[in-house]
């Protein structure tokens, strides 16, 4: 049994309808692609009817939408936070071992979740949101949202080693590569800046260990337009509108046009009549 659709001619301009996969994504249930799979498995009902058509639309504020029998709450206003994740904090919603998680450091917001993972010993920029669509866009390699890390490594890599990192290295059968890498400090051990656009499991640590320079400290200093400038470890802030647009791949709003004052034109001077002498 498929979900009922509105009768022709019953369009209500006050009802805002969206595709169900978008509604599920915004509610933090799953990404849009995963939401399509959930719908295809017949796990979603709309006003009591099982949804079978992928393009089905609904109004989350009025319709009864359920996943596995559990009703979706009307989506709240999207929330976007950037956290300066401290070392020793786990990037997960709940930890079975009872360790401190990133969710303990931010406000309790329905559907809020961390985008991607920073391992327990890595610190720095972490995005949290309840907007599944933006999370999908920010984390998918296709959209090339750049991650920038600073890594303290053992020893000082030679130029040839840095070139290998750019060209790509086989690690456990997987080809890993960086977009760019440079040495920031070089004494007994080096600090490197590493930039890449994928978020594979422990990618920076695995890469650097594979070329003979294991990581002792790692922090993410940028995620797309986001930085933790001005945030102490454990502190967070809300994203600006420009940062949200940048992560969503939308162009920044143009700067306001400067107003120029027009100087009123003076009326042309009338030519003076000169009287000739008689």
Tokens of 159: 């130029």
How far apart are alpha carbons 135 and 247 in whole angstroms? 9
DSSP string, 136-193: HHHH-GGG---EEEEEEESS---HHHHHHHHH-EEETTEEE--SEEEEEEESSSEEEE
Residue 148, CB-side half-sphere exposure with 13 Å CA sphere: 13
CA atoms of 132 and 83, how far apart (whole Å): 18
Sequence-ordered strand ranges (E) for the chain: 18-19, 44-46, 49-50, 57-58, 65-67, 70-71, 80-85, 113-114, 122-129, 147-153, 169-171, 174-176, 180-186, 190-196, 215-223, 236-238
Q: Which of 12, 119, 131, 179 is catalytic?
A: 119
Cβ burial 216-238 (10 Å sphere, 16+ → b, else e): eebbbbbbbbbbbeeeebbebee
Query: Distance between CA 170 and CA 178 in Å, rounded?
Result: 12
Tell me which residue of 62, 66, 74, 86 sits closest to 111, measured CA to CA.
Answer: 74
Residue 95 known to be catalytic: no
Q: CB neighbours (10 Å) of residue 17?
A: 16
Q: What whole-number distance in Å separates Cα of residue 71 and Cα of residue 53?
A: 19
Catalytic residue list? 119
């Amino acid at each position: 049994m498929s979900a009922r659709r509105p009768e022709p001619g019953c369009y209500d301009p006050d009802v805002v309808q969206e595709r169900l996969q978008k509604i599920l994504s915004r509610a933090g249930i799953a990404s849009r692609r995963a939401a399509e799979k959930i719908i295809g498995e017949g796990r979603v009902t709309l006003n009591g009817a099982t949804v079978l058509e992928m393009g089905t639309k609904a109004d989350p504020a009025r319709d009864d939408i359920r996943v596995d029998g559990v009703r979706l709450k009307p989506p709240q206003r999207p929330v976007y936070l950037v956290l300066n994740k401290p070392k020793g904090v786990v990037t997960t919603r709940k930890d079975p071992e009872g360790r401190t998680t990133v969710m303990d450091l931010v406000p309790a917001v329905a559907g809020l979740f961390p985008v991607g993972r920073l391992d327990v010993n890595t610190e720095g920029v972490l995005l949290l949101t309840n907007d599944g669509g933006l999370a999908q866009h920010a984390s998918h390699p296709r959209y090339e949202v750049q991650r920038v890390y600073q890594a303290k490594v053992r020893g000082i890599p030679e130029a040839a080693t840095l070139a290998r990192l750019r060209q790509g290295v086989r690690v456990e059968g997987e080809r890993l590569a960086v977009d760019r890498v440079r040495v920031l400090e070089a004494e007994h051990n080096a600090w490197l800046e590493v930039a890449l656009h994928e978020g594979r499991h422990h990618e920076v640590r695995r890469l650097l260990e594979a070329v003979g320079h294991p990581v002792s400290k790692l922090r993410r200093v940028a995620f797309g337009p986001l930085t933790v400038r001005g945030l102490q470890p454990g502190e967070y802030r809300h994203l600006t509108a420009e940062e949200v647009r940048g992560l969503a791949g939308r162009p920044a709003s143009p700067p306001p046009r400067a107003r120029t004052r027009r100087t009123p034109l003076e009326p042309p001077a009338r030519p003076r009549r000169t009287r000739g002498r008689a």
